[in-house]
Amino acid sequence: MIEPRYFITGTDTDVGKTIATAQLLRAFVAAGHTAVGMKPVAAGCEWRNGQLYNSDVAAHAAASSIQAPAALVCPYMFEAAISPHLAARDEGQSLDLEHIVSAANQLQAWADVVLVEGAGGWFAPLSDKHNIADLALRLQSPIILVVGMRLGCLNHALLSAQAITDSGLRLAGWIANQIDPEMQRYADNIAYLQAHLPAPMLAEIAFEQNAQDLTLSAQAITLLACGTSAKQAINN
């Protein structure tokens, strides 16, 4: 069964969470669902026509089937391209997790599926007290892990998956994003992760300049619809 909301996290920053989110949004739309992306916190914004602009938020908007209110799709925007907790502190703000949860809940009235893209990795800080994992726990949504395929990704992926499952949340699947086109033994690394991660690989994203504008394979939606039995179905 397709869930009304998924939380997208990554093995690190700059591993392709936005690319994966945009491609997955288009896949949901192609499968007949209304879908919208949410970026709770966006750092590294710039002013355009009197408004803050963020490329990740813009990518979500381009891939979504509806245009929801800006205050809901991105409750917090900051100019500095630094960790959100530092950007918020520098601008004299604090990130309210309940405000983010409220915005995410309101988005449910706008679309069949809401994809919430986190910042950085699973334990990236949002304040001195809270991190991305805390936000995901508040949202209580299945998790999709984006694995940036490069040297060191096996350790990062397994640690992230362990932390997610230890939190009590369900890892619905993972997406392999080929961020290093020169990665040695790429296929062997994929095979290892398929054998050891406790969730199905939903898709592979090849290294392409226009990857953000493409659509993820329909198989990703099928596997998500399979729910907890997806990995078993693949292995049988």
Catalytic residue among 17, 39, 129, 231: 39
How many domains is the chain partitioned into structurally? 1
Instruction: Give 207's DSSP letter.
Output: -
How high is the pLDDT of residue 233? 43
Range of the domain at 21: 5-235
How high is the pLDDT of residue 231? 54
* Residue 131, strand partner residues: 125
Tell the residue number behind the tokens 């890892």, with chain if given. Answer: 171
**What's the helix, strand, coil split of the chain in %, to 5?**
40, 20, 35
SS3 143: strand
SS3 49: coil
Residue 17: active-site member: no
pLDDT single digits (tens) 182-220: 999 999 999 999 999 999 999 999 999 899 999 999 999
Nearest by Cα to 173 from 221, 113, 122, 206: 221
Residues of the chain predicted below pLDDT 50? 229-230, 232-236
- Threshold 0.85, pTM exceeds: yes
How high is the pLDDT of residue 227? 79
Residues 174 and 171: their CA atoms lie apart, in Å, by 8
CATH number at residue 166: 3.40.50.300
